Structure 1
Amino acid sequence: MLDVSAQSAQRARPRRGAVRRVAILVSLTLVLVAVAASLYLVRTVDSQLADVTRTYEIRRQARELMLAVVDAETGQRGYLITRDNAYLEPYNRAVGSLSQAYQNLLAGLGDNPEQRARIEALVPDLDAKRAEMARTIELMSSGQTADALALLRSDTGQLLMERIRSGLRQFIGEEDAKLIDRNNRMQFYRQLTIGTILAALAAAAILAYALLSRSQRKVAALSEQESRLRSQNEELEAHVRARTAEAEEARGHAERERARLETLLQDTNHRIGNSLATVSSLLGLQLARTGSDEVRSALEAAQLRVQAIASAHRRLRLGADLETTDAAEFLADVIDDLAATVPPSKSVRFEKYLEAMVIPARDATTLGIVVSELVTNALKHAFVEGEGGTVAIRFERPDGEATSLTVEDDGRGMASKEGQEGLGALIVKQLARQFGGSEPEYRERQGGGTAITVRLPLLDVPPR
């Protein structure tokens, strides 16, 4: 007995599976048919909407033609009755728009031969009405008032107007009938679309039920896979946390090393500056114990240059990459140090026009020495004893040109050639060549004084 029941159950399973497959195929077929039918109905409704829109436009154009004829007749009658030229303006405007309104109406009819023939049949009446109105106005304008009014009171114009109105009304009536017919068809298609969509929804519900019963068998397998994936994900997250901690520790170590290196570089620059300041002090002691004017002059020059190099090292501030610096900020500090060495009695004022520019740190000290030499040269040769003035320093990179450094003063000008032939000029010339520069340019400044320009084309070129 048990064997018979088991065999019956085994035979029933394939039967149920076949029925389920057939149900799925039928439901899917219904859905596809419903979708295709819906698309067809939507396109049909779109076509009907386009026809309705075209019908409305044709009716509007017909009314425009009717209004143009009525406006022309109104202007004609107003002019003939009142002899007021103001009525000619709407008459002329209406007559001028008749042809355009007629052409617009024909263009809207397209390939509808019956309606085109109906409208084209109105052309003789329209031409006759236009000629009748023009004739009455011509007679009135020429002073033949009686003839004009007689023609106006005749039945000719009125009969023409009635035929035009009747033809256009009949035309509009037919278009209205078409519009009603299209609206009825749209309503039918709308109801048919709703029925098709409902059928598609029913088929989709049957299909969804069949698929749901099949999907339930996969839920357990997916749940098991999800459990395994969750376990693997936890292991991966633990590994990522460990590697992230190691990376954070390495980054912190690198930041500390970088900070230490930056501190060492800054400290080294300050030590070099302090050492050079010590050398400058020793030169000052030697200067105080020397009686020879020539030796004193040489020691003063050497002391000033040592001080300039010391100032450049102390004022150097490295950027975040420890290899570059802001040239404008650096030169401003160097110029301030030079200004501090000028005795108050000289009354020399400094003007700075410095363009922000990132340059290699190794070139900053050299640039500071060039500025110090040019400024010192201006202070030494530009102003006579007891007089002051202005020293302007420009560091800029014009569009399409090389970087340039200009130091100008409003002193006694280029009458003295000492500043162009001394050791300072030679130092500037040699240092400028490191940046691809040529000979410094000396020129007289407009309004008095001297301007010295040094071209530095390679200063802003990155190293290869």
Structure 2
Amino acid sequence: MPITQTSFLRGGAVLLIVGLLALLAIVGSTIWLVERSQHYFNEVVAARDLRTSTNNLRIAMQEVETSQRGFLLTQEESYLEPYEAAHNRIIPTFEELRTIVERYPQYLDAVERLGPEIESKLAEMDQTIQLARTGQVAEAVEIVATDRGKEIMDEARALFTRIVADADNRLIEGVEEQRFSANLLRVVAIAGGFLILLVGGGSVWIALSYTRDLLAARQEVETLNAGLEQRVKERTHDLIRANEEVQRFAYIVTHDLRAPLVNIMGFTSELDQTMKSIQSYVLAEGGTLSEQEIHEARAAAAEDLPEAIGFIRSSTRKMDGLINAILKISREGKRPIKPETIDLQALLEANLATIQHQIAEADGEATLSVTAPRIVSDRLSIEQVVGNLLDNAVKYRAGDRPLEIRIVARNVPGGQVLIDVSDNGRGIAAEDHQRVFDLFRRSGQQDKPGEGIGLAHVRTLVRSLGGDITLSSEFGKGTTFSILLPLDVRTVIRSEAA
């Protein structure tokens, strides 16, 4: 009997709820057991630190006492080498023990009382050694014979033994508790896994049964849609071809527009030569023209014609530059992407090197930080993008402070790399943040050469690589351009091809 959609949804909902409850129980138990295990782990670590510090202090005091007695017996300075080494460790080791014991109030008073006694014991030892060095060995031995130092050492040993024994008990208890937590966690994981397997098995059975019915229905739909898919493919192919024709048409039109402009520029050059002849004739003395006509002719030859010619020439140059810009962007859009593995740090360092002399002239500095060492992309496009942004940073630097340029490249989620190019230049007003990417648009004071095509070109290149470019800027303080690119441009090419 086929499974209806209602039965499928009801059964799936029940199994989903059961699985969710099981998962919540497993997660909750796991978190509790992990926290419990962490608690006892911390206890074990603390007990280990307490035991280690206590033993270190006990060993150091024993070494000092042994070395002192050996020196008193032999008056050999070699016995004092371990004495000096252990003597220097005692006070730091005691301070470390006192810090650790703050977690164990039962030992805190005893350790605090031990501190002055240790200092007294060390002072006694130092005194006996000095006496022995000056030949007063009997006096030194007499001080030792008072047994005051022995009482201090016996008291310290008893305290150390108590602390070590307690630490050992805590270590054993902590290890046992951790073992219990691990065993309980194993049981929870096995039981939870078994329950999830049951839920998963039921879900798979329902899904397979429902999928079998769906496949039968899908077969019928595919038969009906076979002709429709073929028509869609044909229409898509037509649209792609039409789009390519539009691009070719735009390219041809912009290319052909240059021809008359070249002619105009040639004629203006000839007109310039003709104007010189006219000036020679009109400005010649002894003509039959009236004074007014001569004055007007001279003014036209000396002022009007040069001004008109200069205007025509500058206008044609401007138009030629704009059309060249359109052609450049059109060509870049048609240039095939050539993926290759790029050492991003080396590429950025090379781009910085090309403007290093300009940075030095501006008393500036440039820094580079790269944590995304390699990407697969089009080298020429990235070099043009970064080069253009660095040129802008130098061109539009602030005149009242040294130039600072910073490039940071790092990986970001989604298989992408983010390249930030920052400067402390003039900055861009908030209302111009978007329009600077438009063709032939510029912002701020127009005291630098340019036609407003650089950032438009940059955006075209970045988008052709499957990325995007944005900026953040504060007028008068600086600008940061953020370039977001895929780590592997081939994934973009494949998706577009599909």
Output the TM-score relative to the length of structure 2. Answer: 0.49
Q: Secondary structure at the match of 1:322?
A: helix
Aligned amino acid, residue 323 of structure 2? L
- 1:281-317: CA deviation from partner (whole Å, max 9, x where unpaired): 5667999x9899xx9xx9xx969x969968x949958
Q: Structure 1 counterpart of 2:169, which letter? A: A
Paired residues for 1:131-142 under 5 Å: 131-140=123-132
2:56 aligned residue: 64
TM-aligned CA distance change 1:118 to 1:18, over 3 Å:
farther
Residue 272 of structure 2: aligned partner = 276
Residue 235 and residue 59 in structure 1: after superposition, are their counterparts in 2 closer, same or farther (change >3 A)?
farther
Question: What is the rounded CA distance, in whole Å, between the counterparts of 2:324 and 2:22 in structure 1?
Answer: 75
Contact 1:280-1:306 at 8 Å conserved across structures: no
Partner residue of 1:200?
Answer: 192
Partner of 2:204: 212
Whole-angstrom CA distance in 2 between matches of 1:458 and 1:204: 69
Contact 1:122 1:167 in 2 (8 A): no
Answer yes or no: is 1:322 the counterpart of 2:323.
yes
CA distance in 2, matches of 1:118, 1:238: 93
Aligned counterpart for 1:181 among listed residues 151, 169, 173: 173
Rounded to whole Å, the distance in 1 between the matches of 2:140 and 2:323 is: 104
1:256-279, Cα deviation, whole Å (9 max, x unpaired): 111111222122111211232244
Give, in angstroms, the shift of residue 51 of structure 1. 1.6
Name the SS of the counterpart of 2:322 in structure 1.
coil
Partner of 2:30: 38
Q: Could you tell me how far apart the structure 1 residues matched to 2:198 and 2:77 are?
A: 79
Per the TM alignment, residue 110 of structure 1 is displaced from its structure 2 partner at its CA by: 3.7
Could you tell me which of 245, 248, 255 is aligned with 2:244? 248
Q: Which amino acid is the alignment partner of residue 321 of structure 1? A: L
User: 5 Å matches for 1:93-242?
Assistant: 94-95=86-87, 97-116=89-108, 119=111, 122-123=114-115, 126-140=118-132, 144-152=136-144, 155-158=147-150, 160-219=152-211, 223=215, 238-242=234-238
Return the alpha-carbon distance in structure 1 between the equivalents of residues 194 and 251 of structure 2: 67
Is this contact kept in 2: 1:28–1:204, CA < 8 A?
no
Cα 1:69–1:234 change in 2 (3 A) is farther
Q: Which runs of 5+ in 1 are unaligned?
A: 1-8, 325-354, 356-395, 402-456
Q: CA deviation at 1:205?
A: 0.4
Q: Cα distance 1:458–1:156, how it changes in 2: closer, same or farther (>3 A)?
A: closer
Residue 188 (structure 1) shift: 2.3
**For residues 160 and 458 of structure 1, what CA distance do their matches in structure 2 show?**
87
Query: CA-to-partner distance for each residue in 1:379-408, whole Å, 9 max, x for gaps?
Result: xxxxxxxxxxxxxxxxx999649xxxxxxx
Distance 1:461 1:22, change over 3 A: closer
**CA drift at 1:105:** 1.6
Per the alignment, residue 471 of structure 2 pairs with none
Q: Distance in 1 between matches of 2:214 and 2:280?
A: 89
Secondary structure of the residue aligned to 2:187 is helix
Asked if the contact 2:71–2:79 (Cα under 8 Å) also holds between the matched residues in 1, the reply is yes
1:391 corresponding residue in structure 2: none
| Bigger mean CA deviation after superposition, 35-44 or 135-144 | 135-144
Range with greater deviation from structure 2 (267-276 or 236-245) = 236-245
* CA distance in structure 1 between the partners assigned to 2:62 and 2:320 by the alignment: 86
Asked if the contact 2:43/2:170 (under 8 Å) is kept, the reply is no
Which residue number corresponds to residue 487 of structure 2? none
Q: Residues 407-426 of structure 1: CA distance to partner in whole angstroms, max 9, x if unpaired?
A: xxxxxxxxxxxxxxxxxxxx
Flag the structure with larger Rg.
1
Tell me: CA distance 1:122–1:210, structure 2 relative to 1, closer, same or farther (3 Å): same
Deviation string, structure 1 residues 62-114 (Cα, Å, up to 9, x no partner) = 12322332343355446645667787787567546534422322322344333
1:169 to 1:230, Cα distance in 2 relative to 1, 3 A: farther
Q: Do the aligned residues in 1 keep the contact of 2:12 with 2:203 (CA within 8 Å)? A: no
Q: 1:319 to 1:112 in 2, by over 3 A?
A: farther
Distance 1:28 1:307, change over 3 A: closer
Higher relative contact order (CA 8 A, sep 6+): 2
Change (3 A) 1:240 1:118: farther
Distance 1:398 1:96 in 2: 60
Among candidates 257, 262, 270, match of residue 258 of structure 2: 262
Q: Which amino acid aligns with 2:30?
A: S
What does 1:391-402 align with in structure 2 at a 5 Å threshold?
Answer: 400=399
**TM-score under structure 1 length normalisation:** 0.52
Q: How many residues align?
A: 318
Give the aligned residue type for 2:58.
M
8 Å Cα contact 1:65-1:102 kept in structure 2 = yes
Q: Is the 8 A contact 2:268 2:309 kept in 1?
A: no
Inter-CA distance 96–274: structure 2 relative to 1 (3 Å threshold) = same
Matching residue's letter, 2:260? L
Matched AA of 2:95: Q
Is the alpha carbon distance of 1:248 and 1:25 closer, same or farther for their aligned partners in structure 2, counting shifts above 3 Å? Answer: closer
Q: Distance in 2 between matches of 1:397 and 1:189?
A: 65
Compared CA separation, residues 98 and 268, structure 1 to 2 (3 A): same
Cα distance between partner residues in 1 of 2:11 and 2:248: 68
